Chain A
């Protein structure tokens, strides 16, 4: 069975600091997909990224970057120059490709608080 671990429950940083959110996953499948979602206080999930298991290239999107390391089963997320609007709960999730129903397994989330 798959499992996603986000060991950091809460992180607090001062604006403009860089912050990395950790995600470690477990799966027996060779083909799988990894996701990051942002959940602001309003509750709605905001999709940030999807990465398949065959693509280990790191990705950068503006202030966001992701580091996928298959060797350590990690998919970490870094926010550069954090802003107050980045304050939210961030979830890492896993979907196994063999699942016909695309079921997502979520980590427990990391609450990020960015202060002035």
Chain B
């Protein structure tokens, strides 16, 4: 199957700093990338959907000014958590799909564990 990478895999930062997480599709062009957040022992919650070259679509309740998403190319999307606070500590997972439509499989990255002190 297709490979999606995330970097970094783990990050610890101080409250108030910004953290950038990269999501790359390594062997296919991803027209759409998704960002999910997973709190401990909870399910994955979709944060936003990003399409290459256009603005991301955020889910209800997700602050677009806090979670900046850039999908600059067909193989790279970045999520920046601005002015991170302890409540932003979570497991962030990206996924990528090569086409539109619900039949297209999403390929998931390994996740990034963010801890804000």
Query: Footprint of B on A, CB under 8 Å?
Result: 31-33, 37, 42-45, 47, 50, 52, 91, 95-109, 111
Contact = CB atoms under 8 A, between A and B. Distances in A.
Given A43-B91, A45-B93, A102 B102 contact: yes
Interface string B103-115: 1111111110100
Contact of B105 (A50, A98, A99): A50
Contacts of B34: 101, 103-104
A102 B97 contact: yes
B108 A44 contact: yes
A97 B103 contact: yes
Contacts of B61: none
A48 B109 CA distance: 15
Contact of B46 (A47, A50, A97, A103): A103
A100 B43 contact: no
Given A44-B110, A47-B105, A111-B41, 9 more contacts: A32-B102, A43-B93, A43-B111, A45-B44, A47-B1, A52-B103, A101-B51, A104-B34, A104-B44
Contact of A104 (B46, B51, B57, B91): B46
Interface of B: 1, 32, 34, 41-46, 49, 51, 57, 91, 93, 95, 97, 100-111, 113
A108 B42 contact: yes
Given A43-B113, A47-B1, A108-B43, A97 B49 contact: no
Given A43-B110, A47-B1, A100 B103 contact: no
Given A91-B44, A108-B42, A102 B111 contact: no
